[in-house]
Amino acid sequence: MAKVLVVGGAGYIGSHVVKELLENGFETVVYDNMSTGQEVNLFAEAGFIRADILDTAALDKAMAQNIDVVIHLAGKKAVGESMENPALYAQNNLCGSINILNAMLANGVKHMVFSSSASVYGTPQYLPIDENHPLNPISFYGYTKAAVEEYMSWYATLKDFNYIALRYFNAVGYAADKSITGREKNPQNLLPIIMETASGKRDSFSIFGSDYDTPDGTCGRDYIHVSDLATAHVLAVKKLLADKKSYVLNLGTGKPTSVQEVLTAAENVVGRRIHHHYAPRRAGDPAVIYANAKRAEEVLGWKPRYTNIEEIIKTTWNLEI
Ligand SMILES: NC(=O)c1ccc[n+]([C@@H]2O[C@H](COP(=O)([O-])OP(=O)(O)OC[C@H]3O[C@@H](n4cnc5c(N)ncnc54)[C@H](O)[C@@H]3O)[C@@H](O)[C@H]2O)c1
């Protein structure tokens, strides 16, 4: 079986990817500096290297261990922080990714699956968004994702290297078997914030804007379950090893769910009202964004299993009760 190095494998999405790789029989090694990764997310069956992607010697040593494929999920991901501290994002997301690519080339590692993001598209020019939609990021975070995609494209042109960039929409949920218990700390995303409010960690949460041109006036997003994302990564690893071509693929459900719908579904799951208040729109928030993910289906044979928002929320709430 191939050997996969999962950079950022102790994090939220990375730990679900490691679980799926192990279940598919891949030899798996996690490389993580534990800045947001958690010890409880590490699997005993996987190797572990505690190191930073800014440490080129450590990367070189890791890549020299007969790695077949790298899955690169290590990145800073707070959009607001990226606008206040672009240097931090340039160093971690850009320099760190270049370090990984260079260590791969130096050690003959030819395949990479990369965590990209729907934020590369910016404000939608049409919906649903397919991979041909122009890239026009409106945050520095989104810019770093688009830039790493470009580096990978150049390396694929110039060297014996190929990649699959996975553009995730909004990752949500946890493994339904509760095998991953390390919940995100200081979440910035809607669903974990709603869950923290429901469990009493927060008093209330804000709904930013209720006057959008949408059926209920709140923003619509494409919520994709983390276990479905994990499945796509394993299929991407298999695809890279099989046909050695590069692809860029959206990963989403193909339908928007509004903030109000998420709230109502969460209240149904927890069985009580969840405190919230209405606040003005945030700058840069598009009314609705959702994916056309047909290419991932064609290329990988991937389809999300979780399409019902209540089912998705249950996998998160199950960890609270
Ligand atoms: N969560 C989402 O909805 C979402 C959506 C689109 C894209 N992404 C991307 O997916 C990837 C994983 O996201 P996540 O939600 O699991 O975040 P996360 O913060 O839980 O995971 C990131 C992991 O990378 C590690 N890491 C960060 N910087 C590192 C460094 N310099 N050296 C070594 N390890 C480092 C962290 O310790 C952590 O374990 C990120 O690149 C993120 O930008 C996430």
Tokens standing for 313? 């929320």
pLDDT of residue 185: 84
Q: Which residues of 69-103 are buried (b: 16+ CB within 10 A; e: fewer)?
A: bbbbbbbbbbbebbeeebeebbebbbebbbbbbbb
pLDDT of residue 184: 85
Nearest to 179 by CA among 319, 50, 7: 319
User: What residue owns the CA closest to ligand 1's atom 18?
Assistant: 11
Tokens 């707070």 label which residue?
78
DSSP character at residue 184: P
pLDDT of residue 119: 96
pLDDT tens string, the chain, 321 residues long: the values are 899 999 999 999 999 999 999 999 999 999 999 999 999 999 999 999 999 999 999 999 999 999 999 999 999 999 999 999 999 999 999 999 999 999 999 999 999 999 999 999 999 999 999 999 999 999 999 999 999 999 999 999 999 999 999 999 999 999 999 999 998 888 889 999 999 999 999 999 999 999 999 999 999 999 999 999 999 999 999 999 999 899 999 999 999 999 999 999 999 999 999 999 999 998 888 999 999 999 999 999 999 999 999 999 999 999 877
pLDDT of residue 120: 97
- Say if domain 190-221+254-317 classifies as CATH 3.90.25.10: yes
Nearest to 259 by CA among 320, 184, 190, 157: 190
Separation between Cα atoms, residue 267 and residue 288, nearest integer Å: 22
Domain boundaries, the chain: 3-172+223-251, 190-221+254-317
pLDDT of residue 135: 98
User: Which residues have C-beta atoms less than 6 Å from ligand 1?
Assistant: 8, 10-14, 32-37, 52-54, 73-75, 77, 92, 96, 115, 117, 168, 170-171
The predicted model scores a pTM of 0.97
Q: What phi and psi, each to the nearest 5 degrees, are found at residue 39?
A: -55, -40
pLDDT of residue 236: 98
Query: How many CA atoms does the CB half-sphere of 264 hold within 13 Å?
Result: 8
93 C-alpha to ligand 1 centroid (Å) = 10
Amino acid at 57: A
* Helix/strand/coil for 246: coil
Q: Is 141 a catalytic residue?
A: yes
- Among 141, 174, 223, 306, the one annotated catalytic: 141
Separation between Cα atoms, residue 157 and residue 100, nearest integer Å: 17
DSSP character at residue 94: I
Pairing of strands 220-221, 257-258: antiparallel
- Find out whether 295 and 157 touch, Cβ atoms under 8 Å: no
Pocket test for ligand 1, best of 5, 18, 32, 188 (most atoms within 8 A of CB): 32
CATH superfamily, domain at 3-172+223-251: NAD(P)-binding Rossmann-like Domain (3.40.50.720)
**Judging by beta carbons within 10 Å of its beta carbon (0-12, 13-18, 19+), is residue 203 exposed, middle or buried?**
exposed
Q: What's the N-to-C CA distance of the chain in angstroms?
A: 38
pLDDT of residue 187: 87
Atom of ligand 1 nearest to the CA of 54: 31
